[in-house]
Structure 1
Amino acid sequence: MEDSASLKFEDWPNAVAFVPYVGSRYLEGFGGCRVLLLGESHYRKDGWTDDPGLTRPFTRKTFGDMETCERVGGGRFFDELDRLLTGNRTPALSDAAQAWERVAFCNLSQRFAGTAAGHRPSASDFKDGGKILLDAILPILQPEVILVLGRTAWRMFADGERAEQPIFHARHVNSEGRRRRYLEERHVWAPDQGNGVAWMSWVYHPSWNVDRWEDRAAALRHLLECPHDKPMA
C-alpha cells in the first residue's frame, strides 16, 4: 500500500458489497500496527435490499461518526468496542474517537443477515464473505493485526494456519460461561494474505455476556505484542 489514496471509496472492487470503515489515521497504525476489527454481519430494516447503492456505503455510514465527538449512533456493541480499543471501562469520548481514527472495521458477511440481531448469516454468506475478504479487502487494507469479533465468524473464516505465538487466555470469562464450557484459550493464526505478516485471533461477540471488556481489550494487545518485524509488501 503506497498511500491512503488506495482507501478511497470509489477504488474498492465491486465485489465488496460493504466498503469497510477506515479511520482517517489508519495507515499510521494503532499501537504501531494496522488493525482490522472483523465483525460478523450487518442488519437491515424491513424492505431494504442488497442493492449496492444501499450496501456499499452502509458500513461507513454506520461507523463514520465513531472518530468524532459528535456521535449520532450508539448502543452496547459500540460501547464495548470503545472499551476494547481504549482499555478503559468508561473511556472519555475524545479518547475513543482518537482510537477509532487508527483502526478499520468490516464484517465477514457481505450480505444483510436479516432485520434483527437474532437473525444469522448462512454458512454460504460467511464462506463467500471470507473469499472476498481474502481476495479484495485484505490486499487493500494490509492489516498486521486482525481481531475477529465473534467465534462463529472465526470458525467460518479460519484461514491460514495456527501460528507459533503464545495462546491468549481470556481470564475473565463469566461464571455462566464456565458452566457452559465457553473457551478461555484463543489461538493465534496467520492468515494467508500474501503480502506480509499478520496475526489474527478472536473474542466472543461483544454483544454477548461471555467475555468481559478486559478480555477483549487484552486480546487486542496480545496480538499487538506479537513480533511484527517482517516488512509488509
Structure 2
Amino acid sequence: MTGMSSAAPQTDDEARVDLTRHKWPDAVRFIPYWGDLYWEGLDGERVLLLGESHYRKEGLSDSLEVTRPFTQDHFREMASPVRSGRHGPFFKALDLVLVGQQDFDLQEAADSWKRVAFMNLSQSLAGSQANHRPRNEALREGGDVLVRDILPVLKPTVVLVLGRMTWWFLSHGRREPALSPFIAKEVNRKSGRRRYVEERDVWSLDYKGGSALMTWVYHPSWNVDTWRDRSAALRHLIALSKRD
C-alpha cells in the first residue's frame, strides 16, 4: 500500500536492553543476575541458569527493598576470582557446570560467570534452611513472571533448569521430539527404591521476541547427577542452539 513503510526487523544488537536501566515491574521481586559480558554469551549463546528459590535469614521480610537486590548481591561475587563467602559445595557445583573441568582456578570460573545470567524461579523467599521447600504455587507463579516479564528482557537462547521440581512446575514451553534428548551417562540410577531419570527431553521455551532451548538436571545439592553430566547438559543445549 502506497504511503506506508514497514519497519526493518531489529538486529540482535538493536534488540539488546540496557539491563542496568531497565524498569522491572513489581512482579519481578528478584532481579536476575547477569554478567558484564552476558550479551556476548557463553560460546556465543546467551545462557540462563534457572534455580528454584532463595532462603531467608530469620526475620528477613519479603519487601521489595529486601528481595530486589537479593539475587545480584549473592551472585555478583561469582564473577570475581576473589570471593569472601561463595565457597560452599553449591557454588562450586555451579562453577563446574560453567567451566566444564574439575581442575580450574577461580579466574576461569569468574570469566564464565561474566557471560551468563542466573535467577531462581520462585519470586518469594522460601524458609530459612535449604530443606525448606518453596510453595508449589510460588513456583507456578514464578514461571508466569519468568515468561512474561524476564525472558523478553534477558533474551536467552539456552536455559538450564537446576532441579527436577523446578522443571515440573515450570508449566511453559513445548517438547521438541526432533531434538536429541540429553542423556546423563553417570546418573546415580537407583537409590533405595527410587530410580532416577537418565534421559531428559529438550524443550523450546517461547517468549515475546525470541525462544530458548531448555532441559533440566537434578539439583546440584543432590547426589544424583555428577558435575560432568550437569556440565554436559549445558553443552548439549549450546550445541543444539548453534545448529538452529
- TM-score tier after normalising by the smaller chain length: over 0.9
Alignment match, 2:123: 110
Is residue 2:226 matched to residue 1:212?
yes
Q: 128-137 vs 186-195, which deviates more?
A: 186-195
Q: How far apart, CA to CA, are the structure 2 residues paired with 1:94 and 1:52? A: 33
User: What is the Cα deviation at residue 33 of structure 1?
Assistant: 0.4
Q: How far apart, CA to CA, are the structure 2 residues paired with 1:158 and 1:184? A: 21
Q: How far apart, CA to CA, are the structure 1 residues paired with 2:205 and 2:158? A: 10
Moved over 3 A (4+): 1-5, 175-179, 227-230
Q: TM-score, normalised by structure 2?
A: 0.90
Gaps of 5+ in 2: 1-12
Percent of matched pairs sharing the same residue: 50
One-letter code of the match for 2:85? Answer: G
Q: 139-148 vs 67-76, which deviates more?
A: 67-76
Q: How far apart, CA to CA, are the structure 2 residues paired with 1:211 and 1:196? A: 30
Q: How far apart, CA to CA, are the structure 1 residues paired with 2:218 and 2:64? A: 30
Is residue 2:63 matched to residue 1:41?
no
Q: Deviations over 1:171-202 (max 9, x none)?
A: 00125448621000000000121322310000
| Residue-pair matches, total | 230
Alignment match, 1:65: 77
Q: What is the SS of the residue equivalent to 1:191? A: strand
1:104-143 alignment to 2 at 5 Å? 104-143=117-156
Gaps of 5+ in 1: none
Alignment match, 1:25: 37
* Rg comparison, structure with higher value: 2
Q: What is the SS of the residue equivalent to 1:214? A: helix
Q: How far apart, CA to CA, are the structure 1 residues paired with 2:78 and 2:103? A: 16
Q: What is the SS of the residue equivalent to 1:66? A: helix
Alignment match, 2:194: 180
* Correspondence for 2:112 among 99, 103, 107: 99
Alignment match, 1:156: 169
CA RMSD after TM alignment: 1.7
Q: Deviations over 1:56-78 (max 9, x none)?
A: 00000000110111112221110
One-letter code of the match for 2:34? Answer: V
Distance 1:124 1:8, change over 3 A: same
